[in-house]
Amino acid sequence: MKNLTLILALLVAGLTVNAQTGKELKKQGDEAYKSKNYPKAVLDYSRAIEAYKSEGTIDTSIFYNATIAAYKAKNY
């Protein structure tokens, strides 16, 4: 859990979204998850959360998806 908190804090503090929408980033996270690339899925979901925040909206399923991907990556 400590590692996940650190990773999410760093992502929130230092990432830029590169003009991708939250929906696009969530889709990338979904694809990474399906490919069992769980660390990339966590990164993409974290970026999607930030993108949705800047868009003024949110898809709450991303929080669940990020948590499950982090668990499967044994990043807790």
pLDDT confidence of residue 58: 85
Domain map of the chain by residue range? 2-72
First to last CA, the chain: 4
pLDDT tens-digit profile of 21-66? Answer: 999 999 999 999 999 999 999 999 999 999 999 999 988 999 999 9
pLDDT tens-digit profile of 8-20? Answer: 665 665 554 456 8
Write the CA distances from 60 to 2, 19, 35, 46, 74, integer angstroms. Answer: 22, 21, 22, 12, 22
What pTM, to 2 d.p., does this model score?
0.72
Tell me which amino acid residue 70 is.
A
